[in-house]
Chain A
Amino acid sequence: MATATANRPKQNLTVDQKLQVLRELYADAPEIGKAALKNGLTTLTEELAAPGRAQTAGRIGARQGKVSELTVFLPFVKGGAKRLRGLLELLEGNFRAADAVGTVHDMRFVFVDNDTKLLFATAYDGDFDPYIEDFASKIPNAMDLWLCNFEGYPGMRNAKAAADWIANHQIAAEAWYVNSPNLTAPETRRLEKVGKAVEGLLDQIG
């Protein structure tokens, strides 16, 4: 399953060298791809010239600015898919327990390969290990409740083993884009308050 992120030796090439690599690479691409490469050259050149922004989220995963990604495929135990689906249905798809963690931007739960695996993908602030520790210390029950449905899950009380288990199932994204890479979840909450206060102030003046 896991595909290691290839190392990125191509960062040291000049823009022209990068374009050359691309042209060679697309020599045998489908027509659509070849045409797109030709048409999109101007934008591509700008993007190739701009400094790279991809970083890592510590142990595993990609980070852009302050926001990281975590993508895992977890194998269900027997009956696990049914239990998790039932749980998500009752929560109406919305896992508000994560509010307590404070560093989560979004999370999705997707049943794949005929309910044999779950894709869990999340966007969060900072590095992998502190993120998992946060879940372990703040919402261990909620975590055990959904993760107990997978093969080999050691339990959140065993935080280190749980983090290893997650990392073992994780596949680092090859590319990761965030619209506001410098906006953490707490900073977003602060801005929401500032925005409200400003509106209130303007109302008073008006």
Chain B
Amino acid sequence: MATATASRPKQDLTVEEKVKQLREAFRNAPEMARVALENALPTLKSLVMEAQSEQTESAGRIGVRLGKVSELTVIAPFAAGGAERLRTVLQLLNGNFSAGKKVGTLHDMRFVFLDNDTRFLFATAFDGEWDPYIDDFATQMPDEMDVIFSAFEGWPGIHNPKVKDWIVKHQIPADGWYVAHPDLSVAQTGRLKRIGKAVDEFLDKLNA
């Protein structure tokens, strides 16, 4: 299942060398792709230059980070009866995961049922490093975690020392990870929302 992230030795090449490599890689591509490459080259060159200043890094133990925001992507098999249990829990909650607020580093998360309910995908965006993030879930919402994740085969329990090994085993690091605002942590976004509100109120007063 897991596909390791390819190493990234190409970071030291010049932009021209990179473009050359790209042309090589697309030599046997369908006609549409080669045309797209030529059309996209001017933009692509500037993107490659930008990428050199804003490149993805590791999120710690596993996964990719851009700026302050990291990704975690897990695909794992359901335990017997697990898909039905999880679907019912999720339907009853109807998308209301207010427990997620307790983990102050959580940007977003999705639960997707795959392959006729035999596997599931869990994908999340979060701040910073992998280990503290998992620790946060374990301390802030252990029961919610076990209610949900006990639907999966071999879930050892959030308090079990083996829980991180279970996650790592099923996690697949992304090869590409884009974040529109890589420097905004959840906490900073919250701060900006408060500043925005205060400024609006201030302007209202001025205009009153």
Contacts and interface: CB of A to CB of B under 8 A. Distances in A.
Given A174-B111, A174-B112, A119 B121 contact: yes
B207 interface: no
Contacts of A191: 189, 192-193, 195-196
Contact of B25 (A1, A82, A91, A189): A82
B196 A194 contact: yes
B87 interface: yes
B25 A108 contact: no
A22 to B, nearest CB: 6
A137 B94 CA distance: 34
Interface string B102-116: 000011111111111
B92 A48 contact: yes
B189 A174 contact: no
A132 interface: no
B113 A8 contact: no
Contact of B88 (A25, A89, A179): A25
Q: Indicate the size class of the contact surface on chain A.
A: 35 or more
B180 A177 contact: no
A50 B110 CA distance: 19
A125 to B, nearest CB: 10
B47 A96 contact: yes
Of the candidates B89, B176, B189, B193, the one having the most CB atoms from chain A within 10 angstroms of its own CB is: B176
B208 interface: no
Of the candidates B10, B90, B116, the one having the most CB atoms from chain A within 10 angstroms of its own CB is: B90
B97 A175 contact: yes
B75 interface: yes
A119 B110 CA distance: 13
B186 interface: yes
A interface, by DSSP: helix, strand, loop or mixed? mixed
A36 B90 contact: no
Nearest to A83: B25
A177 B100 contact: yes
A206 interface: no
B206 interface: no
Given A11-B94, A174-B112, A175-B90, A95 B178 contact: yes
Nearest to A177: B97
Of the candidates A69, A155, A179, the one having the most CB atoms from chain B within 10 angstroms of its own CB is: A179
A67 B30 contact: no
A141 B94 contact: no
Contacts of A11: 91, 94
B21 interface: yes
A77 interface: yes
A162 to B, nearest CB: 12
Contacts of A73: 114
Interface string B14-35: 0000100110011011101101
A200 interface: no
28 contacts: A8-B91, A10-B94, A25-B85, A26-B85, A32-B155, A36-B143, A36-B145, A43-B144, A47-B97, A53-B94, A62-B110, A69-B108, A83-B29, A83-B33, A86-B22, A92-B51, A93-B175, A94-B54, A94-B56, A97-B43, A106-B177, A109-B175, A110-B174, A111-B175, A112-B1, A121-B121, A144-B32, A174-B111
Given A29-B150, A88-B176, 6 more contacts: A36-B147, A79-B29, A108-B64, A144-B39, A177-B108, A179-B108
